[in-house]
A and B are shown apart, each in its own frame.
Chain A
Amino acid sequence: DTAVSQTPKYLVTQMGNDKSIKCEQNLGHDTMYWYKQDSKKFLKIMFSYNNKELIINETVPNRFSPKSPDKAHLNLHINSLELGDSAVYFCASSLSGGNNEQFFGPGTRLTVL
């Protein structure tokens, strides 16, 4: 299936732990994104990578570090997790340019206890 996939779908962890979320797309896109959706459904961009280069970084705490090993993958590593990090994290991909459809993954629900 052609799609954007994320793992894991659910992540429950303790405060202070470090965790990673993986994202892969097989759509041939060269731009990938991470979004955070809070409990009120607000959807906010965190990072955007184009051809493995960071192009958008929305003043996200340094504890969040994206890594793009190639155009098809964009992983998100979070250090020292805090309660406020609990949210659903979506990966997305698109062709270059800000006026192309973004294809979203199914989301990773992160719960920090």
Chain B
Amino acid sequence: GENVEQHPSTLSVQEGDSAVIKCTYSDSASNYFPWYKQELGKGPQLIIDIRSNVGEKKDQRIAVTLNKTAKHFSLHITETQPEDSAVYFCAASRGSSASKIIFGSGTRLSIRP
């Protein structure tokens, strides 16, 4: 069945450094790849998404890259700040009305002051 693998499960970086989270997906029909951030005690919140017709998308300090051939996509956070500490989830979907979003297992990102 569909599967999304996410690495690493935990990541600790120095404030100001960059953080990279990587995901792979199994369903070649997937064409929508969102990233969600979950802060402690809250629900996940979309931070960026990418569709299969583009290879890269950037929004301020956050960027996502997609390699459809290899079925890989990654989240890059530059100039990390304490408020970036959270659990990050990648996800993949076929994008149709009846298709579900498959989430990765999450990455707990900690920013060291």
Contacts and interface: CB of A to CB of B under 8 A. Distances in A.
Nearest to B31: A99
A106 B42 contact: yes
Interface residues of B, number: 28
B100 A105 contact: no
Interface in A1-31: 4, 31
Contacts of A107: 41-43
B95 interface: yes
Contacts of A55: 97-98
B93 A99 contact: yes
Interface in A35-51: 40-45, 48, 50
A44 B32 contact: no
Contacts of A105: 43
A43 B106 contact: yes
A70 interface: no
Interface in B62-113: 87, 89, 93-101, 103, 105-106, 108
Interface in B18-75: 31-32, 34, 36, 38, 41-46, 49, 51
Contacts of B41: 106-107
Given A98-B32, A98-B95, A56 B44 contact: no
B43 A50 contact: no
A71 to B, nearest CB: 14
A97 B43 contact: no
Nearest to B33: A99
Nearest to A88: B43
Nearest to A47: B100
A23 B91 CA distance: 23
B46 A98 contact: no
Given A99-B31, A107-B43, 8 more contacts: A41-B87, A43-B106, A48-B100, A56-B98, A97-B95, A98-B97, A102-B34, A102-B46
